[in-house]
Structure 1
Amino acid sequence: MKPPDKATVIQVLRDISLLLQMKGENPFRSRAYDSAADRLAGLSEDLGALLRDGRLQELPGIGQAIADKVSELLTTGRLASYEALRAELPAGVLELVRVPELGPKKAVLLARQLGVDSVDALEKACREGRVRQVAGFGEKSEANLLAGIELYRRSNNPRRLLGEVLPVAERLLASVQTLPGVIRASVGGSLRRRAETVGDVDLIASAAGASAVFDAFCAAPEVAHVIGRGESKCSVRLHEKDLQVDLRVLPDEDFATALHHFTGSRAHHVRLRGLAQERGLKISEWGVHRADGTKLHVPDEAALYRLLDMQYIPPELREDTGEIEAALAGKLPEDLVTWEDLQGAVHAHSTWSDGKNSLEEMARAAQALGLKFLTVTEHSQASIYAGGLKEDDLRRQWEEIDRVNDSVKGVRLLKGIEVDILESGALDYTDAVLEQLEVVIGSVHVRHGMDEDQMTRRLLKAFDNPHLHILGHPTGRMLPSREPYPLRMEEVLDKAAERGVVVEVNGKPERLDLKTEHVRMALERGVKLVVSCDAHRAVDLGNLAFSLGTARRGWARRGDVLNTLSAEQFIATLRKQRAA
């Protein structure tokens, strides 16, 4: 068993302090555990080494009893006295006590009196008016607890990757759209804006009445339990990924303004409300009203923007990063790249390197998506860990690509490579090999720890090779585990523009690299893009949608993205870019 890390040890000590307070133990005893936790949190030395050397109890605030408990936890992975303490108290109290406005003793009282064993259960009890029936609580207590629960969720609900949440939300949306009485429905929030990470899922629907819709929604098999339900909003938690979903149901006349309101962003809305006030209007989820209370007809979001004398602003652009000024001036791009514009998917691997599906399986998956071409770009020979191809392997793969292209009609596999950009900036194949390929993506896969100057020069050197067509996942980040490597992005994009190097917007959910602001920087310099899937399985071709969302957030138009071209035009443009 892997021993717990320092953070876990600190948390256990803090939990013991809380549990002792719940039992009404001597406050000096509980404070001793908090003091020990504080001491370990500020410790720069290795905790295991201190324990082995017998020096742990020498630290101020850590006596022999606590040192023994730390030792037991580190050596066995368990702490018997901690488990016994937890067993003495109601389940879930350690979660409850983390809600602002709820101290240890009150948490125990509510757990015992009402049987609440989670924050969700506590919220439900508050909304049902059961908390006020417990001695020492009232209506104000319930209101304070609900506010505390919102703060707790905001600080503790980890944001998840767009690629994790969007498929789940879209399946649930499809289910909501079929519920009796539903007229229109859409996702909202940061998910609709295609942000890199999202928290809760917002769904907005219209119907003559909400009650029947909520009844069916709460009974859906995806729903683990109902958090709360009101007249226009119902909140549930799903079995899948423990996601919270908020469904709002309003009359159809309010659907457009509600969808707009709950899509956000907050900064975008603040600006729009100011523009509305200048025109004597008030915007809310319940409609657009004149100062005299007259409600205006708003059939869709485009109508709302027309009332403000501006172009329609797509959801992905609603971040107050210049879109309002552009829309007021009539200069917002109206041809942002769409799924329908895409003819091919860039950046795919197969069983020839570290992919999970054969070339034929990848081709048929692309065909099923309606794509006309797929670039086959396995890892190169330096990527031994990823089954990188030697030159002979590459040539044998070309033969199989030819066979698949003969047998699978309507989609063409392009012969390519994802070649490693080596530490020196050289590419991992000779020019004689690279010049035979239709698509060459160059990527950094090792030595991410180089400093800013070294990494910048590494990429700039790679751009000098005339056979490099596309820079892959340009900053090397992995959400949320790895930060981008240091890089002078302006300098890299300047040279990409000068040398005709195309830049990838990688759609792998953990990457989404380029990020939005870098997409805009690239476009300002005239750099062309590809939206890519970085597919290692057939299902990963769907990553193209996440790349597309990022490109749109960066204001990418159809003409900015090269895989909107046919296969022949795509290849010719890559070569023309480099020859210019």
Structure 2
Amino acid sequence: MPDKKLIKILDNIAILLEIKGENPFKSRAYSNAAEIIRENQLDIQKEVQEGTLSNIKGFGDALVKKMTEYVQIGKISYYEKLIAEIPESLVDITKINSMGPRKTKLVYEQLGVKSINELEEVCLNGSLKKLKGFTDKSIEIILNSIAHKKASKGLFLQNSVIEYAENLLNQLKSNSQILDAEISGSYRRFAETITDLHIVVSTYNPFEMCQDFKSTFNANQIEKHLLILTNENIPVTVDFAKPDEYILKLHQSTGSDEYTSAFIQLFKEINSSFSFTSEEELYNSLGIQFVPPELRESITALEKAKQFKIPRLIENLDLKGMLHVHSNWSDGRNSILEMALRAKELGFSYIAMCDHSRSAGYTNGLSIERVKLQHEEIDKLNEENHGIKILKGIESDILTDGSLDYPEDVLEKFDIVVVSVHSSFNMSKSQMTKRMIAALASPYTTILGHPTGRLLTSRLPYEVDINEIIDAAADYGKIIEINANPYRLDLSWENVIYAKEKEVRIAINPDSHKTSTLEDVFIGVKVARKGWLEAKDVVNCLDYENFMNGIVNGRISRGNS
């Protein structure tokens, strides 16, 4: 398991060097090292002890020396020296929208700003506006970002807790006296962000097991409950229950307060039994349909269950196509073939390469000439028949006037065109809405990518009337993406529900830039399930022939999934 503390140190060194104005290559060496450890799940202690770290590309002598020091004494003296020169808290400021290393250095040197609270203060007292490069609009963006960051404090992304949660679950289940254990709470019903973890455990000896695990997890004990605070400050509650109590406790701790309250009322009216072997049996005892955990947010699901109108929600195995992925032709890490073969291993029969378009120079976007060369490579790979169809796609920037990034004679050569906003986020709501609708009106647009531009816990959505966008997609017969990147999950599940009402087809896309994140597409399936989607609502549940026929015809029939 990679050392998260070490990864954070390396990332911080990279940012602090940028603030200092050091050679960008020097900064990049540390950020690359952090990414290599993350990506390859490197055990640095093992690599150092076995003397193999220098064999890994990206770890030169200087980095190996620092990694060795970290393994031996638990810190890196170079980093300690760096944060003695520059406050470590500046790293947090760089992550505020409209800041970054250069502006962070400016406010530190000119105004003595060392923290987010101090940045907020100079925004409000007018000091910041006196510095070159800061306008009323940029200050408004900074203040909104600070407010969002404060509101997001104590919120955790699903992917940031899954490793800890699964390890904890495995430790519990490895004990022979534990009959079953499952994560419940908002995590189980796939809330976009969570405040804590809740685990319910089945055992014949709940109090004794609670005592036994207390020292293992360095936890506080309250009767048959353990309270744990992880190194990342995630609160965890572990409830130990007898087998005949387990299912009810699991169910009660999964749903929202609204849902659970309504369910308990129904349960009291109908049922006198308290012992069940499964949640399905619990629902059957009430004479209603089983409600999947993802839908247990409001009483709407319970009302549907009484009418037996819960649909068969989409499942991972329903997906057949992998759309919106990037390769090393733009800012991806892997080749087209590597991405395609990994998608094939995951069970997909077609994949659409959607590298960035030419305006995205910062991502090595494709010039018209490079588009032609990439298409030649895709043709060659398809001729070689690697067991998966490779589609010619592009992620086209939506320009400020709503036009796409290539002339028509280039756009018509793509199998699919994903259109996305990557710049000028700070337009007014009406301007941004008009811009995106213009892109949807293009006959070459296939899919609208990450429609609100949000980054969970770090960046607010841009101002846009998302319902109006969904309405326009319905009018023009366009597809909207659930971007399954765990930092995006965009469309949100609430907006997915509205899109389904408007009969807008959805694509579940990983937006992957490397083979290791292609599996993010299955995170998108959870969002789709929470939005009540069935396989027929999702375009990449179509087989290759039906998908391509639908694209060629301009509209994809809802009945062909």
Counterpart AA for 1:563: N
Q: How has the CA–CA distance of structure 1 residues 180 and 502 changed in structure 2, closer, same or farther, with 3 Å as cutoff?
A: same
Cα offsets for 1:189-233 (capped at 9, x unmatched): 11111111012222222223346755775676xxxx512135532
Match of 1:63 in 2: none
In the alignment, is the contact (CA less than 8 A) between 1:337 and 1:548 conserved in 2? yes
Match of 2:238 in 1: 247
What is the deviation of 1:312?
Answer: 0.9
What is the deviation of 1:458?
Answer: 0.9
Pick from 124, 147, 150 the counterpart of residue 44 of structure 1: 124
Pick from 338, 361, 364 the counterpart of residue 387 of structure 1: 364
Q: Is 1:568 equivalent to 2:559 in the alignment?
A: no
Counterpart AA for 2:257: R
Residues in 1 aligned to 2:526 and 2:556: alpha-carbon distance in whole angstroms = 30
Match of 1:272 in 2: 263
Q: Is 1:206 equivalent to 2:202 in the alignment?
A: yes
What is the deviation of 1:407?
Answer: 5.8
Q: Is 1:466 equivalent to 2:458 in the alignment?
A: no
Residues in 2 aligned to 1:369 and 1:430: alpha-carbon distance in whole angstroms = 35
Pick from 228, 232, 257 the counterpart of residue 248 of structure 2: 257
In the alignment, is the contact (CA less than 8 A) between 1:419 and 1:427 conserved in 2? yes
Residues in 2 aligned to 1:43 and 1:396: alpha-carbon distance in whole angstroms = 49
Counterpart AA for 2:521: L
Q: How has the CA–CA distance of structure 1 residues 233 and 167 changed in structure 2, closer, same or farther, with 3 Å as cutoff?
A: same
In the alignment, is the contact (CA less than 8 A) between 2:258 and 2:299 conserved in 1? no
What is the deviation of 1:408?
Answer: 7.2
Residues in 1 aligned to 2:212 and 2:383: alpha-carbon distance in whole angstroms = 49
Pick from 174, 177, 188 the counterpart of residue 178 of structure 1: 174
Residues in 1 aligned to 2:453 and 2:314: alpha-carbon distance in whole angstroms = 24
Q: Is 1:326 equivalent to 2:310 in the alignment?
A: no
In the alignment, is the contact (CA less than 8 A) between 2:244 and 2:274 conserved in 1? no
Residues in 2 aligned to 1:408 and 1:177: alpha-carbon distance in whole angstroms = 44
Residues in 2 aligned to 1:357 and 1:179: alpha-carbon distance in whole angstroms = 41
Q: Is 1:163 equivalent to 2:141 in the alignment?
A: no
Q: Is 1:347 equivalent to 2:347 in the alignment?
A: no
Residues in 1 aligned to 2:502 and 2:537: alpha-carbon distance in whole angstroms = 11
Q: How has the CA–CA distance of structure 1 residues 190 and 402 changed in structure 2, closer, same or farther, with 3 Å as cutoff?
A: same
Query: Structure 1 vs Structure 2: percent identity of aligned residues?
Result: 33
In the alignment, is the contact (CA less than 8 A) between 1:179 and 1:213 conserved in 2? no
In the alignment, is the contact (CA less than 8 A) between 1:505 and 1:532 conserved in 2? yes
Secondary structure of the residue that 1:513 maps to in structure 2? coil
In the alignment, is the contact (CA less than 8 A) between 1:157 and 1:199 conserved in 2? no
Match of 1:194 in 2: 190
Secondary structure of the residue that 1:235 maps to in structure 2? strand
Cα offsets for 1:127-182 (capped at 9, x unmatched): xxxxxxxxxxxxxxxxxxxxxxxxxxxx9971111222234423443443333233
Q: Could you state the TM-score of these two structures normalised by the residue count of structure 2?
A: 0.70
Secondary structure of the residue that 2:227 maps to in structure 1? strand
Counterpart AA for 2:510: C
Pick from 528, 531, 534 the counterpart of residue 557 of structure 1: 534
In the alignment, is the contact (CA less than 8 A) between 1:179 and 1:216 conserved in 2? no
Match of 2:8 in 1: none
Cα offsets for 1:347-371 (capped at 9, x unmatched): 1111111112222322232223222
What is the deviation of 1:47?
Answer: 5.8
In the alignment, is the contact (CA less than 8 A) between 1:201 and 1:244 conserved in 2? yes
Secondary structure of the residue that 1:575 maps to in structure 2? helix
Q: How has the CA–CA distance of structure 1 residues 364 and 174 changed in structure 2, closer, same or farther, with 3 Å as cutoff?
A: farther
Residues in 1 aligned to 2:446 and 2:276: alpha-carbon distance in whole angstroms = 47
Counterpart AA for 1:180: S
Counterpart AA for 1:229: Q
Root mean square deviation of aligned Cα: 3.0
Matches within 5 A, 1:361-380: 361-380=338-357
Residues in 1 aligned to 2:429 and 2:372: alpha-carbon distance in whole angstroms = 36
Q: How has the CA–CA distance of structure 1 residues 550 and 48 changed in structure 2, closer, same or farther, with 3 Å as cutoff?
A: closer
Secondary structure of the residue that 1:568 maps to in structure 2? helix
Match of 1:482 in 2: 459
Q: How has the CA–CA distance of structure 1 residues 346 and 175 changed in structure 2, closer, same or farther, with 3 Å as cutoff?
A: farther
Residues in 2 aligned to 1:391 and 1:217: alpha-carbon distance in whole angstroms = 61
Q: Is 1:301 equivalent to 2:279 in the alignment?
A: yes
In the alignment, is the contact (CA less than 8 A) between 1:363 and 1:408 conserved in 2? no
Match of 1:111 in 2: none
In the alignment, is the contact (CA less than 8 A) between 2:393 and 2:415 conserved in 1? yes
Residues in 2 aligned to 1:46 and 1:177: alpha-carbon distance in whole angstroms = 57
Residues in 1 aligned to 2:334 and 2:254: alpha-carbon distance in whole angstroms = 37
Cα offsets for 1:456-481 (capped at 9, x unmatched): 11111112211111000111111122
Q: How has the CA–CA distance of structure 1 residues 207 and 525 changed in structure 2, closer, same or farther, with 3 Å as cutoff?
A: same
Match of 1:537 in 2: 514
Residues in 1 aligned to 2:454 and 2:491: alpha-carbon distance in whole angstroms = 9
Q: Is 1:396 equivalent to 2:396 in the alignment?
A: no
What is the deviation of 1:325?
Answer: 1.7
Q: Is 1:425 equivalent to 2:402 in the alignment?
A: yes
Secondary structure of the residue that 2:236 maps to in structure 1? strand
Pick from 210, 218, 224 the counterpart of residue 232 of structure 1: 224
In the alignment, is the contact (CA less than 8 A) between 1:466 and 1:578 conserved in 2? no
When Rg is computed on C-alpha atoms for both structures, the one with the higher figure is 1
Residues in 1 aligned to 2:199 and 2:384: alpha-carbon distance in whole angstroms = 43
What is the deviation of 1:41?
Answer: 5.8
Counterpart AA for 2:294: E
Q: How has the CA–CA distance of structure 1 residues 217 and 415 changed in structure 2, closer, same or farther, with 3 Å as cutoff?
A: farther
What is the deviation of 1:409?
Answer: 3.5
Residues in 2 aligned to 1:211 and 1:370: alpha-carbon distance in whole angstroms = 45
Secondary structure of the residue that 1:306 maps to in structure 2? helix
Residues in 1 aligned to 2:529 and 2:378: alpha-carbon distance in whole angstroms = 32
Q: How has the CA–CA distance of structure 1 residues 371 and 182 changed in structure 2, closer, same or farther, with 3 Å as cutoff?
A: farther
Match of 2:16 in 1: none
Matches within 5 A, 1:282-297: 290=272, 295-297=273-275
Counterpart AA for 1:311: Q
Pick from 314, 330, 339 the counterpart of residue 292 of structure 2: 314
Q: How has the CA–CA distance of structure 1 residues 418 and 328 changed in structure 2, closer, same or farther, with 3 Å as cutoff?
A: same
In the alignment, is the contact (CA less than 8 A) between 1:349 and 1:537 conserved in 2? yes
Matches within 5 A, 1:53-92: none
What is the deviation of 1:383?
Answer: 0.5
Q: How has the CA–CA distance of structure 1 residues 170 and 570 changed in structure 2, closer, same or farther, with 3 Å as cutoff?
A: farther
Counterpart AA for 1:260: H
What is the deviation of 1:308?
Answer: 3.0
Cα offsets for 1:42-86 (capped at 9, x unmatched): 983256899xxxxxxxxxxxxxxxxxxxxxxxxxxxxxxxxxxxx
Residues in 1 aligned to 2:363 and 2:129: alpha-carbon distance in whole angstroms = 36
Residues in 2 aligned to 1:553 and 1:509: alpha-carbon distance in whole angstroms = 15
What is the deviation of 1:510?
Answer: 1.6
Cα offsets for 1:252-277 (capped at 9, x unmatched): 22222121111121111111122233
Residues in 1 aligned to 2:547 and 2:211: alpha-carbon distance in whole angstroms = 51
Secondary structure of the residue that 1:191 maps to in structure 2? helix
Match of 1:66 in 2: none
Match of 2:493 in 1: 516
Secondary structure of the residue that 2:445 maps to in structure 1? coil
Q: How has the CA–CA distance of structure 1 residues 43 and 534 changed in structure 2, closer, same or farther, with 3 Å as cutoff?
A: closer
Counterpart AA for 1:161: L
In the alignment, is the contact (CA less than 8 A) between 1:165 and 1:198 conserved in 2? no
Residues in 1 aligned to 2:357 and 2:491: alpha-carbon distance in whole angstroms = 22
